[in-house]
């Protein structure tokens, strides 16, 4: 969903200034324009500034709140099944400024699984980067990745590290990302 019309915020709402990553409160009645609604969060422009609003606060935009999916009952899963679930979850994580998921952006460098303390569970170690080292949204994206992967059946624990080597370049974009961004 991307809406071009301005809407009045229905209530005060916690938001994050993009790209600085600074937490702010947007006030009820302020005019907001939704520019992106991907991966369970919203990117809005208010007074010429861009903000990220969590899906749990969609009611402030007059939209239905997006509840995080509940963790399913434990089932024994193979490493391959859990790894597929993880990569699928990573494809639901988006930079609020870019309408391409972090996997297709080439921001996820590795995803390693080790057996957990019970059968069919795994500890997950993810190494990812950002398009720019100074991006204040790093901790927000890191937490989004951690939350989404931690909620998966078969995942016992998640470690998400931001790394800077190798530095990200546009050559790391998938063909789908290049097409979505008009680089073809």
Average pLDDT over residues 97-109: 96
0.85 surpassed by pTM:
yes
Per-residue tokens: 106? 């080439």
Burial tier of 35 (Cβ tally within 10 Å: 0-12, 13-18, 19+): middle
Domains of the chain: 6-61 (2.30.30), 79-180 (3.30.300.130)
For residue range 21-49, what is the model confidence (pLDDT) as tens digits?
Answer: 999 999 999 999 999 999 999 999 999 99
Q: Which of 69-73, 88-92, 128-132, 144-148 is predicted least confidently? A: 69-73
Predicted pLDDT of residue 14? 97
Residues 63/9, Cβ–Cβ less than 8 Å: no
pLDDT tier for residue 68 given thresholds of 50, 70 and 90: low
């Amino acid at each position: 969903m991307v809406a071009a019309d301005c809407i009045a915020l229905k209530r005060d709402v916690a938001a994050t200034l993009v790209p600085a990553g600074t937490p702010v409160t947007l006030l009820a009645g302020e005019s907001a324009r939704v520019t992106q609604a991907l991966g369970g969060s919203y990117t809005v422009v208010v007074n010429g500034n861009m903000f990220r609003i969590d899906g749990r606060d969609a009611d402030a935009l007059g939209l239905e709140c997006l509840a995080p999916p509940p963790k399913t009952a434990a089932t024994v899963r193979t490493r391959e099944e859990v790894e597929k679930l993880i990569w699928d979850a990573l494809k639901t994580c988006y930079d609020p400024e870019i309408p391409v998921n972090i996997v297709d952006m080439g921001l996820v460098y590795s995803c390693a699984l080790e057996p957990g303390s019970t059968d069919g569970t795994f500890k997950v170690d993810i190494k990812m980067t950002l398009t720019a080292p100074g991006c204040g949204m790093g901790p927000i994206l890191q937490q989004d990745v951690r939350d989404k992967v931690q909620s998966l059946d078969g995942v016992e624990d998640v470690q998400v590290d931001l790394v800077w080597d190798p530095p990200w370049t546009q050559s790391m974009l998938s063909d789908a990302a290049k097409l979505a961004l008009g680089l073809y």
